[in-house]
Amino acid sequence: MRFRARTTAANRHPVDTVPPVRQLVPLGLQHVLVAYSGMVTTPLLIGLGIGLPTDQIALLVTANVLVSGIATLIQTLGVFNIGARLPMVMGSTFTGIAPAITVGADAGLPAVFGATIVAGVVGWLVAPWFSKLLPFFPPIVTGTIIAIIGFSLLPKTSNLIAGSDPTAPGYGSVDKLLLALGTIALVLAIERFAPQAVRRFGILIALVLGTLVAVLLGMADFSAVAQADTFGVVVPFAFGPPTFLLAAIVPMLIVQAVNMVETTGHTLAIGEITDRRIDQRTMAGALRADGVAAALAGVLNSFTIVTFGNNVGVVSITRVVSRFVVATAGVILIVMGLMPQLGAVIAALPGPVLGGVGVVMFGTVGVIGLKIAAQADLSSARNMMIVAISFGFGMMPGGAPEFYSGLPSSVQTVLDSGIAAGGICAIALNLLLNPRTRTEKNVCPAPVGEPCTCP
């Protein structure tokens, strides 16, 4: 396996710096703690939706964590022309939950995994052409999409803080709300009063101290850790050889297209945060990693993979932009995929603590989007309409989940993702209202594979 170096030691970009090992592990763990709940939610919901027994759901969760770790390494370190070589965590997407449950219930998981493999291969093949759409992502479009990504994720923190079942005892209790507020206050205190060396670990410190408080208050339960297996091996095609059904492949291709839009937004956001220019080669590498990861996921009993928006917030808040920190997170995820007991420890972290951190993370991603959008002239009525209408479509699925239920399932798959709906709207409105503004300062229009010549 050959890794391509992008820079020399003399002009090394901060993204390519390698922190000391004593910092790599806790900084990488910080990313894992933020991303883990999302990684286990997708396979858990799909398994429950299909009606799988507990042991098979556990297998899906373990496989998903392992694949997420491998995909994160591919995205951050790069293999040939695959991977953006940027600090981006990879994991399964919520967009694929509904199609996977539908296909799995009708044709079984082998059909889901077969469709995932096909979607991944297609995503890998079309990545160079999709990356040529970068001129259609000027600041007003890019910023709007990134803001929608962040703000559309904020409602998900309510389930972590209050609970997922409104009828359950203790749902939305004062103790849970105070614990979440305390976690947020701790993040703010670290940002306000701690030195820079400590602020880099602010999220990790907040998670650890918040969990300790939860343990003292009897709001944390780690009993499941003892029940989890110490070691586990993920076997390819554990549910049988994949099957390739057109009825399963079509919705997964739509999911993959949505993922590519989302990855485009995340990659541009990371470029803005790290001050690294995103050219077509970098974008194509990021999208290829999406495709390769999805194909690998189908082989290893997992689901479509995409970049994680909440970890974009971690990079922004901690100001740690080294891709090797996120690569370390990938290694930790791989170890957790082979040692389910470690994953059980992370899964047992109190929801209010994770939710409190999530409010900060997702809100930060949203503000990054607004900052990018502000590079355009927001005093222009046309630009204001682009942002306003795109936000309307982007926020609709979160506020009214059944709003598109009367439409065909293939259309629902796209529109039920606020990110896809808002992104498509922003691109279309910009082409309609600003037909001559199709470049942005952080996007290089150089052809794929050619060096950037921008000033």
List, as one string, the DSSP characters of 202-265: HHHHHHHHHHHHHHHTT----HHHHHS-S---PPTTTT-S----HHHHHHHHHHHHHHHHHHHH
Length reported for the chain:
455
66 located within any domain: yes
pLDDT of 10: 56
363 located within any domain: yes
Q: Do 322 and 77 form a contact (C-beta atoms < 8 A)? A: no
350 located within any domain: yes
246 located within any domain: yes
- What's the domain range around 200? 18-439
CA distances from 417 to 90, 304, 377, 402, 404 (A): 18, 15, 27, 12, 11
CA distances from 246 to 112, 401, 412, 437 (A): 11, 27, 18, 39
Ramachandran assignment for 319, one of left (phi > 0), alpha (psi -120 to 50 degrees), beta (any other): left
445 located within any domain: no
The torsion defined by the Cα of 298, 301, 307 and 313, in degrees rounded to 10, comes to: 180
Sequence-distant (6+) residues with CB within 8 A of 136 are 427, 430, 431, 438
pLDDT of 436: 64
pLDDT of 441: 44
Provide the whole-model pTM. 0.77
CA distances from 260 to 36, 206, 395 (A): 21, 32, 19
pLDDT of 137: 83
CA 111 – CA 114 distance, rounded (Å): 5
pLDDT of 295: 96
List strand residue ranges (DSSP E) for 258-397, in order: 278-279, 305-307
Beta bridge partners of 279: 444
Beta bridge partners of 443: 278
448 located within any domain: no
If one counts the domains in the chain, the total is 1
Q: Do 326 and 28 form a contact (C-beta atoms < 8 A)? A: yes
Q: State CA 112 to chain mean position distance.
A: 21
**How high is the mean pLDDT in each 10-residue block of the chain (455 residues)?**
49 89 92 84 83 82 93 95 95 82 88 95 94 86 86 83 83 92 94 86 88 91 79 88 90 87 89 90 95 96 88 86 96 90 78 88 85 88 94 87 83 79 90 69 44 48
What pLDDT, in 10s, does the model give residues 176-234? Answer: 999 999 999 999 999 899 888 788 888 889 988 999 999 999 998 888 777 777 887 88
CA 263 – CA 145 distance, rounded (Å): 11
1 located within any domain: no
280 located within any domain: yes
User: Of 247, 190, 204, whose CA–CA distance to 25 is shortest?
Assistant: 204
pLDDT of 168: 83
